[in-house]
Amino acid sequence: MAFINGPVPEVVERLVTATATAFERDLRAAWPEVGRSVSGALLLACDDLHLTIELEVLPQRRLGLFELPQLKVRYVFQGGDEAARRRWLALLDRSMQKGGG
34: left (phi over 0), alpha (psi -120 to 50) or beta: beta
pLDDT of res. 99: 63
0.75 surpassed by pTM: yes
CA distance 41 to 82: 22
The model's pLDDT over 19-34, given as tens digits with 9 standing for 90+, comes to 999 999 988 888 878 9
Kind of pairing, strands 49-63 and 66-78?
antiparallel
Tell me what the mean pLDDT of segment 65-76 comes to: 95
pLDDT of res. 20: 94
2: pLDDT strictly greater than 70: no
Supply the range of the domain harboring residue 75: 11-96
Name the domain count of the chain: 1
Q: What are phi and psi of 50, to 5 degrees?
A: -125, 145
pLDDT of res. 95: 76
Check which CATH number belongs to the domain holding 74 and give it.
3.30.1370.80
- Residue 1: which pLDDT band, with cuts at 50, 70 and 90? very low
